[in-house]
Amino acid sequence: MFGAPSLEQKNLLRSDLAQGLLPGLRSKDIADLTFDDAEILLSISAENRWTEDREYGQIVQKEQVDTMPATAEQIGRIRELIKAKHLHPLSGNTLLKISQLSAKRLIWRGEMNRRK
């Protein structure tokens, strides 16, 4: 299928990328993937789980935490950084859809912008 990957696929890919299960893939590459590309990469990361030094259960647990919806505290911190103009504005709907991993990255980016 040539459609865009689902939000769930994107979140799983970001989590797998952060865990080092997709070497060579960059986070900015995820935006250009098709649904089928995402499925292939997810199958590759699934195979890589078995060759990791960490136990499979640890990887799956980390992935589940990464893909959970952002917490109220994370969303509040992101809103503070947006108000202080350390992050570009995001709609309320977008904030409600982001995962914990994406929220961590946004907060980190906002903190780095604040320090500049």
Average pLDDT over residues 2-6: 84
* pLDDT recorded at residue 67: 86
Model's pTM, two decimal places?
0.60
Q: What's the longest Cα–Cα distance across the chain?
A: 44
* pLDDT recorded at residue 88: 92
List pLDDT tens digits, range 41-98: 898 888 887 776 767 677 778 888 888 999 999 999 999 999 999 999 999 888 888 8
Residue with tokens 């990791």: 52
Per-residue b/e over 77-111, b at no fewer than 16 CB within 10 Å? bbeebbeeebbeeeeeeebeebbbbbbbebbeebe
The partner residues of 99 in beta bridges, in order of sequence, read 69
Q: Which tokens belong to 89?
A: 């504005």
Q: Which residues contact 108 (CB under 8 A, 6 or more apart)?
A: none
pLDDT of residue 38 exceeding 70: yes
